[in-house]
Structure 1
């Protein structure tokens, strides 16, 4: 289906359909593109065949035959993820997922939400959730440099000087990890708590870096993501971020060109 919102010599008016659907909370842009490839999205009854289609709005757009509702107000929720949960909607191995816990943890009347980034099964702490797929993508992209802070309990020997070397980045088994701000918080014998702030969020980044330094990680907690902190949110519970803080974040992301 060709872009039908432009004439020769004019720029198209509107936005790519994947971006509009992500903003409406249907799915992430990447997932929307897969849905288009699977023939699940149509416009005025005609199955869409390209994610490059540009539209002014979602009028006439259907997903699996159902009309897409207008985007709701962007909302963000903080969830204190316990260890032992998979950050996914479903797991082929039948393991418990965050959505198992969210059924009881989310406030009443909450919209369908998607996790911003992931925490592996054995990592606990702050997991942000949103109904805005476009904001989700912007907060996840490593290029946007959104900081994530973790506290790791690790066994072994390490010095502050060794941790400070991580500011220059480190390459492990051919994978390069960017600058990490790491600080030794406290030590009891050979056990210590280490705080680490990074911006890339690669798969198992904190564990791999600390294990490369000869440490054994026994507990890992994410304490902050962007401007939002875990605080005293009880484990297994979720709460909504104040709307004023959400709007402040969106304005900043737009100002930086991330949205």
Structure 2
């Protein structure tokens, strides 16, 4: 078993693999336990083994692991596609849409369920992704939602004020009626937190069904005219804008929590 110098930063091996962009944290933990990862030529089976990429030679399946170039993608996820690397039921995944691109490993930044569509980010920059998905950061996510009813002001107010469902409080940060028909309507719903199936559960608790759910923006980044099923690289300024959105959202939340009460 390789020995780690006392001066080496104590980052677990699985975390190091993830931060280098070799694979996800869970994939790294599995690979380490399966004996597929070596440090300085010797297999290590402890995912928490303290490792430094600057001091140690790391291989995964006998291939040297080095820092991958950072990749940031925006994908227009179609309905019916799942956000997983593999599906035990053989359903199409978002990775099928990237299969021919020759990209390094990428992880989804958050999730969209099978029936939902729209903007999905993918990246191998795990720190950037973690900031955007951290519940404490409260990064806005905007959705256009077609519902099976014509809402009145009471419903819109209830969606914003929130409900308790399954022991969780669900609420929208903002709800706007976009357009209405005789039986259906489209709402714009903004969330600054992301609970499992948040919008669907919130609407169901109000007796409303969802016909379509499309994520149109994450923070300052809009889906725009990106065709369904297609993807593009984010521009450097877009990557920076999203990082700032996560940071500024956290700072606003911290400021609110430390404000003196109004007397």
Match in the other structure for 2:71: 75
TM-score by length of structure 1 reads 0.83
Deviation at 1:224, TM superposition (A): 1.0
- Secondary structure of 2:99's counterpart equals helix
* Counterpart in the other structure of 1:60: 57
Partner of residue 213 from structure 1, selected from 206, 220, 232: 206
Deviations 1:35-86 (A, max 9, x none): 33444333111314142524253731122332212232x2211111111111
Q: Compared with structure 1, are the counterparts of its residues 147 and 126 closer, same or farther at alpha carbon in structure 2 (3 Å cutoff)?
A: same
Partner in structure 2 of residue 4 of structure 1: 4
- Per the alignment, residue 143 of structure 1 pairs with 136
Cα deviations by residue, 1:182-224 (Å, 9 ceiling, x for unpaired): 2222211231111111133222111111121111211110101
CA distance in 2, matches of 1:58, 1:51: 16
Of residues 11, 20, 28, the one that matches 1:32 is 28
Of 15, 18, 26 in structure 2, the residue corresponding to residue 22 of structure 1 is 18
Structural mapping, 1:78-89, within 5 Å? 78-89=74-85
Gaps of 5+ in 1: none
Provide the aligned length of Structure 1 versus Structure 2. Answer: 249
Which structure 2 residue ranges, 5 or more long, are not aligned?
Answer: 252-263
The reply on whether 1:49 has 2:42 as its aligned counterpart is no
- Aligned-pair Cα RMSD in Å: 2.8
Compute the displacement of 1:150 (Å): 0.8
2-side partners of 1:176 and 1:20: how far apart?
36
Matches within 5 A, 1:1-259: 4-6=4-6, 13=9, 15-44=11-40, 45-51=42-48, 53-55=50-52, 57=54, 59-72=56-69, 74-103=70-99, 106=101, 110-177=103-170, 179-250=172-243
TM-score of the two chains, using structure 2 as the length reference: 0.81
- Give me the whole-angstrom Cα distance separating, in 1, the residues matched to 2:45 and 2:247: 29
Change beyond 3 A, Cα 1:80–1:57: same
